[in-house]
Amino acid sequence: RQSDRGAAYQAAAQRLLQTGQTFACSCSRSELAAQGGAHHRCVAAQTRPQPALRLRVPPGSAIAFRDGVRGDIAQDVHAEVGDFVLLRADGCWAYQLAVVVDDAAQGISDVVRGADLLDSTPRQILLQRALGLPTPHYLHLPLLLGPDGRKLSKSHAALPLDDADPLPALRLAWALLGQAPAALAGAGSVAALLAAALRAFEPARLPAQDRTLADAADIPSDAKAD
C-alpha cells in the first residue's frame, strides 16, 4: 500500500533535494492559475507553514518514448507541464513520485494501463532519469467513452457489471479491444474466458484510438455472447 511506503518516497525526494532538483512551493491555486497553467517558479506572496515540494523542470526537458499502442509520443514537460508536485502541501505524496518509486522497487519492466495516464508518462520518465531508475516499456490501452466523451467509470455514474452474468460484458470488452471474438468461443465461465483470452491476446490488434458506446452498438451480437 502507498500509505506504507512513505519512507521510500521520502528517500527518493531527499536524493532529488540533495542534487538541487526540487524546491519548496507555497503557491495558492489562484497564483498558479495566474501563471497560465505551467508552473516554472514559486511566486507565492507568503510562505506556508508546510509548502508543497516540486521537481525543477528546466527548459529543454523534452521526453520522447514509444508507446506499445500509440507509437511515438513526445512532450516538452517544461512548456506543457512545468515544475510538478512531488509532495503536496497537505503532506500526501503525489502519484507521479509514488508510482515511479514503487515500479522500480518491484522491478516492473512493462506497464500496461489506460490511455488516461498517457499524459503522465513523460513526467514519470523524467523522474526516473532524475533518480537514476530504469524506464519500463509502456502500453496504454484505449478507453471506453460515454456519450459525453468522458471515460466510463464509477465516478461518472457508469452502470456496474452484472456480477451474476459478467460474460457478455467481458466478451464485449474483448471485441472493443480489437481482438478476435472467435478466440473465446466455447468459454462458458469467467475462468475459461480469461484463460482463452490470455492465450489468444494479440497486442498488434489493439486500436490506437479510444472507443465509444456507439462502437459497442456496432459490434455484432454474436461477438457479445457465445
Q: Is the pLDDT of residue 226 over 60?
A: no
pTM equals 0.87
Query: Given this model, what pLDDT does residue 139 score?
Result: 97
The residue count for the chain: 226
Task: Note whether 133 and 102 are within 8 A (CB).
Answer: no
Please identify which residue in the block is written with the cell numbers 496504454. Answer: 140
Q: Is the pLDDT of residue 77 over 70?
A: yes
Strands (E) located in 38-184: 52-55, 62-67, 71-76, 85-87, 110-114, 137-141, 144-145
Q: Is the pLDDT of residue 187 over 70?
A: yes
Query: Given this model, what pLDDT does residue 217 score?
Result: 74
d(CA 132, CA 89): 26
| pLDDT band (50, 70, 90) for residue 223 | low
Q: Tens digits of per-residue pLDDT, 112-135?
A: 999 999 999 999 999 999 999 999
Q: Is the pLDDT of residue 18 over 70?
A: yes
| Pairing verdict, β 110-114 and 137-141 | parallel
d(CA 118, CA 81): 14
Q: Is the pLDDT of residue 33 over 80?
A: no
Q: Give the CATH number of domain 2-141; options: 3.40.630.30, 3.40.50.12240, 1.20.58.410, 3.40.50.620.
A: 3.40.50.620
Q: Please count the other Cβ atoms lying within 10 Å of the Cβ belonging to residue 197.
A: 18
Sorted by where each begins, the domain ranges of the chain are 2-141, 150-223
Q: Tens digits of per-residue pLDDT, 137-183?
A: 999 999 999 888 888 877 766 777 788 899 999 999 999 999 999 99
Q: Is the pLDDT of residue 221 over 70?
A: no
Q: Tens digits of per-residue pLDDT, 37-47?
A: 677 787 777 78
Higher pLDDT, 160 or 191: 191
Query: Given this model, what pLDDT does residue 116 score?
Result: 94
The grid coordinates listed for 67 are: 508507446
Q: Please count the other Cβ atoms lying within 10 Å of the Cβ belonging to residue 156.
A: 10
Closest of 130, 117, 97 to residue 10, by C-alpha: 97
| pLDDT band (50, 70, 90) for residue 99 | very high
Average of pLDDT values for 53-67? 96
